[in-house]
Amino acid sequence: MSGKPKRIVTPLSREVLAELRAGDECLISGELIGARDQAHKLLYEMIQRGEELPFQISGAVIYYVGPTPARPGAVIGSAGPTTSARMDIFTPDLLERGLAATIGKGQRSEEVRQAMMRRGAVYFAAPGGLGAYLASRIVSAEVIFAAELGPEAVRKLVVDEMPVIVANDIYGSDVYSIGRERYRRPRR
Amino acid sequence: MGRDVRIEGMTLEQALAAGTRRGYGEHYLRKSVVRDPFQRENTGDNTPPYVHIRQLEGDKLRLRFMPKGSGSENMSSCVMLSPSDGAAGVRRVVAECVDAAGAKACPPITVGVGIGGSFDECPKLAKLALLRKIGSRHKDAFYDGLERQMLEDVNALGIGPLGFGGKTTALAVHIEAAPCHIASLPVAVNLQCHAARRAEVIL
């Protein structure tokens, strides 16, 4: 985790995805889809029923976020990442349909890591607890589906140089297990 | 709550719910509560707040408030140990809970540990322990030592800030202990992420 951050723009091409390595710092720009818990359940059910999703899944980047309400004149409220693990159960199906990357916090399941390797997708960690700062990187936000879910609604977000770290690359490397191995000490 | 305190017009719980509704309605904070665990319709105002009340002597009302994220709440646990498991068993439960949570609880965390009480009381003790100021020491020398030992255990896991590896996984381990049944040794571990907001007011 050093050196100059890589500037990347969505939709992420295969070439860009192949260049990313676990631990790389990136500044991501372009369109993201904001979706978390209930939204994932709805998307999953739509896939099961064979319905079309409310956004283009192929090449998409999903950010696990449930923002706070926007103050008057603001684009969005605080918009930090939520724990990704709850979306693990839904993620392999979305990856199979072409989802290129996800952004959240915390480690992913073995199933998701395998599916990411198989499909050439990556997982980015966004810094937890920096919701106000991350919101400042969002230039536009629009609810595109399931508005009734409030903070959990599906949003189209356009971001400008949002800081993220590659947690899992397409080669199976995982920043969480690498970091832990480096610092783990035997218990006294 | 002092026993000479009287709430006009409504119960204390109703007053706290009204305050929550007003606070979250008037300010730009997230509405994070759903009415039913399966229907999952947002209540729109973060009610109901979960309230624990203790009645003491006096005419003052001390309110302690802690909004809490569920990423860390989800990684918390309660285990009913046997008395013979002792302090070593409790240390193991705490280390295993933090280990399993890894990056998901958004470290560096604070670890609230409830020891004793009953099946329902024990997690409440763990939550109460999170209200203690970080850096403060336990009044009892035995628990003070145990807290330090547990902090060592947890920081030896190597999880580190945001789970990227590091020496600091937890900032503090706080214990609250209470009397318990001759047959049991309840342990509850309540994790709090690094966005640990708290407020207190005495009225």
Q: Is B197 within 8 Å of B66 (Cβ atoms)?
A: yes
Which domains, and CATH codes, for chain A? 6-183 (3.20.130.10)
Beta bridge partner(s), residue B53: none
Residue with tokens 């971001």: A159
Domain span at residue B120 reads 70-196
Which residues of A lie closer than 8 Å to B, measured between beta carbons? 1, 38, 66-71, 77-78, 82-83, 85-86, 105-107, 125, 127-129, 148-152, 165, 175-176, 178-188
pLDDT grade for A3, boundaries at 50, 70 and 90: confident
Q: In this structure, which long-range contacts are made by residues B42-51, counting pairs with CB atoms below 8 Å and at least 24 apart in sequence?
A: B42/A149, B42/A150, B42/A151, B42/A152, B44/A150, B45/B20, B45/B21, B46/B20, B46/B21, B47/B17, B47/B20, B47/B21, B48/B13, B48/B17, B48/B20, B49/B16, B49/B17, B49/B20, B51/B12, B51/B13, B51/B16
Instruction: Compare CB distances from B42 to A70, A106, A150 and report the shortest one's residue.
Output: A150
Residue B106: its pLDDT value, please? 94
Phi, psi of A182 (to 5 degrees): -65, -35
Encoded tokens for A135 = 């919101």
Question: What is chain B's mean pLDDT, rounded?
Answer: 96
Say whether both B87 and B31 belong to one domain: no
Encoded tokens for B62 = 């001390």
Cα distance from A108 to chain B (closest Cα, Å)?
A: 9
Q: What is the pLDDT of residues A53-63, one digit of tens each?
A: 999 999 999 99
Q: What is the pLDDT of residues A148-175, one digit of tens each?
A: 999 999 999 999 999 999 999 999 999 9
- A145, pLDDT greater than 90: yes
- B113, pLDDT greater than 80: yes
Supply the pTM of this predicted model.
Answer: 0.94
Say whether both B137 and B79 belong to one domain: yes
Q: Is residue B65 a part of any domain in this protein?
A: no
Average pLDDT over residues B54-67: 96
- A2, pLDDT greater than 60: no
- A118, pLDDT greater than 90: yes
Say whether both B26 and B106 belong to one domain: no
Say whether both B143 and B162 belong to one domain: yes
Average pLDDT over residues B10-16: 95
Say whether both B56 and B76 belong to one domain: no
What is the count of structural domains for chain B? 2
Residue A186: its pLDDT value, please? 86
Say whether both B158 and B98 belong to one domain: yes
Q: What is the pLDDT of residues B80-100, one digit of tens each?
A: 999 999 999 999 999 999 999
Q: Half-sphere exposure of B55 toward its Cβ, with a 13 Å CA cutoff?
A: 5
Please state, in angstroms and rounded to a whole number, the distance separating the CA atoms of residues B20 and B16. Answer: 6
Say whether both B94 and B185 belong to one domain: yes
